[in-house]
């Protein structure tokens, strides 16, 4: 499989704290990679660097094998990299289709005057959500009135829309009930089926094993192991996270 996103020897320091120490990562085409580690391991810092929200001190990022200058979130978006953070970044007082098209609104013209084409945005939103199996009865419902699972599903669908080829999900099932979490995990699988490559950060190992093709374990800012799902189990991954197993070269 082709490598669509690669981080090489990424380091980041905050004062005296070495948040990331020469971390490397590879994400393959149509792959779901679980990035796991304890709190403070460096996972969030790494994805913020990949998303352009934080600048790295050193190292290199490649997209589709070419060096990429990702210095801002817009740089990342322009390269097809989208992130869904835990806070979702949805606007509560906008409805479903308005959130999906936020910043990408469709306009029509009333004579010389451009106006929002609500009907077309609603139509396209319905099609996008149907492709991913996201069920919302009324796309004119304010996001604030949706359940946690529906909100998360909308956020994931938004990230996957408009040709995004790399989607990074930060704790997508956190605080969800069992049924809602399973539905979100199914949507994650659909992202892969539709051609996207996904990095998922989660503390829930059962959820990670339900969707991931590979695991990359980070501890104290360094990679301690990379495993294919078919070649490992929850016990080994947990031991890597807690320090019970150390793999020096991350392979």
Sketch the domain layout of the chain as residue ranges.
3-94+163-250
pLDDT at 163: 61
pLDDT at 36: 96
Give first-to-last CA distance, the chain, whole Å: 17
Alpha carbon distance 251, 232 (integer Å): 13
Which pTM was predicted? 0.86
pLDDT score at 85: 85
- Which is it for the CA torsion 225, 230, 236, 242, positive or negative? positive
Question: Which one, of 135, 146, 152, 161, lies nearest residue 94 by Cα?
Answer: 146
Alpha-carbon distance of 200 to 156, in angstroms, equals 11
Identify the segments of the chain with pLDDT beneath 70.
88, 163, 245-251
**Pair 81, 51: CB distance under 8 Å:** yes
pLDDT tens, residue by residue, 24-57? 999 999 999 999 999 989 999 999 999 999 999 9
**58-63 and 3-14 beta bridge pairing:** antiparallel
**Residue in the block written with tokens 């294919």:** 228
Residue-level pLDDT at 76: 94
CATH superfamily to which 3-94+163-250 belongs: P-loop containing nucleotide triphosphate hydrolases (3.40.50.300)
């Amino acid at each position: 499989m082709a490598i669509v996103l690669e981080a090489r020897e990424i380091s980041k320091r905050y004062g005296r704290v070495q948040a990331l120490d020469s971390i490397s990562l590879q994400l393959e085409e149509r792959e779901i990679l679980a990035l796991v580690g304890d709190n403070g391991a460096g996972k969030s810092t790494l994805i913020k660097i990949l998303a352009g929200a934080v600048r790295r001190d050193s190292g290199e990022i490649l997209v589709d094998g070419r060096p990429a200058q990702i210095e801002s979130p817009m740089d990342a978006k322009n390269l097809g990299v989208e992130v869904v953070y835990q806070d979702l970044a949805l606007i509560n007082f906008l409805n479903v289709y308005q959130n999906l098209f936020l910043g990408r609104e469709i306009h029509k013209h009333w004579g010389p005057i451009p106006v929002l084409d609500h009907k077309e945005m609603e139509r396209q939103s319905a099609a996008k959500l149907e492709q991913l199996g996201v069920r919302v009865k009324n796309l004119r419902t304010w996001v604030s009135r949706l359940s946690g699972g529906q909100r998360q599903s909308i956020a994931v669908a938004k990230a996957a829309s408009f040709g995004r080829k790399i989607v990074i999900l930060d704790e997508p099932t956190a605080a969800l009930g069992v049924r809602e979490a399973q539905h979100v995990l199914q949507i994650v699988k659909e992202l892969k089926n539709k051609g996207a490559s996904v990095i998922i950060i989660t503390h829930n190992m059962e959820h990670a094993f339900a969707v991931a093709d590979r695991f990359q374990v980070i501890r104290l800012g360094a990679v301690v192991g990379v495993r294919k799902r078919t070649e490992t189990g929850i016990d080994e991954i947990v031991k890597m996270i807690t320090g019970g197993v150390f793999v020096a070269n991350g392979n």
